[in-house]
């Protein structure tokens, strides 16, 4: 059950006097996300699965395919398990899905740290879905730059683009780290204008990574964050309430230019502040 649901006006400027107009590549910093607070992580996974299936239905109704960028991490994993089970296993349009991995550690595809492996094990295999729906990074060629270019080319070839030529994904699912990272955007990570997929060369928690960039995430029709657990409270407050500092607080880079932004939190992550 949602404790509360607020369509607006969660604006940086409401809460952070230091927040101002535009900062580097994040675009307009005034964002109005929907924030939904659920009782616990199980509820969060249920509601998230419903929202994803609804997003899929809308996309397929309008354009015939569902282009979904999936997150790694423990919170999304729980949602994948729900989607792979009844009733979603039967109702989700698996045969119209293009599943894009939002970010990946540069490890062999069967490594326990691989998001590809996690998505197969927790979503596509238990759902009995055709695994050709999953577009994975080439993490085994030894050439991450070529892998990033190839993934960007696949996206450009399969996902219809906007006026700037940036592929418009139907839904981007994201998690939040305790340091306010999201995808593989870490504090201090920089991305070149115009690139949709990037190599993150500095190791984070022991891994180099490949990631979708802010440019493609912010072109999406819908971005959905899933955040659970009390350990995320501080990061969440910094992201949503400011001060505005996207280089230090990477999840602040998420500001869809035309799409919807939703945060689904469990009560532990929301804490007292967001439960009022």
> Which residues of the shown chain bind ligand 6PG in the complex (CB under 6 A)?
71-75, 103, 115, 175-177, 181-184
Which residue, 182 or 233, is less far from ligand 6PG as judged by CB? 182
Beta strands in 80-132 (DSSP E): 97-101, 103-105
Contact 25, 214 (CB under 8 A): yes
Which residue, 19 or 226, is less far from ligand 6PG as judged by CB? 226
State both tokens at 4.
């509360």
Contact 1, 228 (CB under 8 A): no
Rounded to a whole number of angstroms, the minimum distance from the CB of residue 181 to ligand 6PG is 6
State both tokens at 177.
């780290």
Rounded to a whole number of angstroms, the minimum distance from the CB of residue 90 to ligand 6PG is 27
Rounded to a whole number of angstroms, the minimum distance from the CB of residue 273 to ligand 6PG is 19
| Torsions phi, psi for 53 (to 5 deg) | -65, -35
Instruction: Give the angle 43-45-49 at the CA atoms, nearest 5°.
Output: 120
**Helices and strands: H and E segment counts in the chain:** 10, 11
Rounded to a whole number of angstroms, the minimum distance from the CB of residue 243 to ligand 6PG is 22
Which residue, 177 or 242, is less far from ligand 6PG as judged by CB? 177
Which residue, 14 or 195, is less far from ligand 6PG as judged by CB? 195
| Torsions phi, psi for 67 (to 5 deg) | -95, 110
Beta strands in the chain (DSSP E): 2-6, 34-38, 66-70, 97-101, 103-105, 134-135, 171-174, 197-204, 207-212, 222-227, 260-266
Rounded to a whole number of angstroms, the minimum distance from the CB of residue 72 to ligand 6PG is 2
- The DSSP annotation for 141-196 comes to SS-HHHHHHHHHHHHHHHS-B-TTS-B--SEEEE---TTS-BTTB-TT----TT-S
Distance (Å, rounded) from C-alpha 114 to C-alpha 72? 9
Which residue, 94 or 185, is less far from ligand 6PG as judged by CB? 185
3-state SS, residue 83: helix
Contact 92, 48 (CB under 8 A): no
Q: Which residue is nearest to ligand 6PG (CB)?
A: 72
Rounded to a whole number of angstroms, the minimum distance from the CB of residue 20 to ligand 6PG is 27
Rounded to a whole number of angstroms, the minimum distance from the CB of residue 173 to ligand 6PG is 9
Which residue, 19 or 215, is less far from ligand 6PG as judged by CB? 215
Rounded to a whole number of angstroms, the minimum distance from the CB of residue 199 to ligand 6PG is 14
Residue 124: Cβ within 10 Å count: 21
């Amino acid at each position: 059950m949602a404790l509360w649901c607020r369509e607006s006006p969660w604006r940086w400027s409401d809460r952070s006097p230091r927040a101002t107009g535009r900062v580097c590549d994040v675009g307009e910093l005034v964002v109005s996300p929907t924030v939904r607070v659920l009782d616990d992580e199980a509820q969060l996974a249920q509601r998230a699965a419903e929202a994803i299936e609804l997003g899929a239905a809308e996309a397929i109704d309008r354009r015939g395919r569902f282009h979904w960028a999936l997150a790694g991490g423990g919170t999304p994993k729980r949602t994948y398990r729900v989607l792979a089970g009844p009733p979603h296993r039967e109702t989700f349009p698996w045969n119209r899905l293009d599943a894009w991995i939002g970010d990946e550690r540069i490890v062999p595809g069967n490594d326990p740290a691989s998001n590809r492996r996690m998505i197969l094990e927790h979503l596509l295999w238990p759902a009995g879905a055709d695994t050709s729906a999953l577009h994975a990074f080439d993490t085994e060629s030894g050439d991450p730059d070529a892998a990033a270019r190839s993934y960007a080319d696949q996206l450009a070839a399969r996902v219809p683009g906007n006026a700037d030529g940036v592929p418009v994904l139907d839904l981007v699912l994201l998690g939040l780290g305790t340091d306010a990272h999201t995808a593989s955007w870490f504090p201090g990570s920089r991305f070149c204008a115009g690139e949709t997929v990037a190599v993150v060369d500095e190791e984070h928690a022991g891994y180099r990574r490949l990631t979708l960039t802010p440019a493609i995430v912010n072109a999406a029709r819908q971005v959905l964050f899933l955040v659970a657990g009390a350990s995320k409270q501080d990061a969440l407050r910094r992201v949503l309430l400011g001060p505005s500092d996207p280089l230090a607080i990477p999840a602040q880079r998420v500001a869809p230019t035309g799409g919807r932004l939703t945060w689904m939190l469990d009560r532990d992550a929301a804490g007292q502040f967001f439960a009022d």
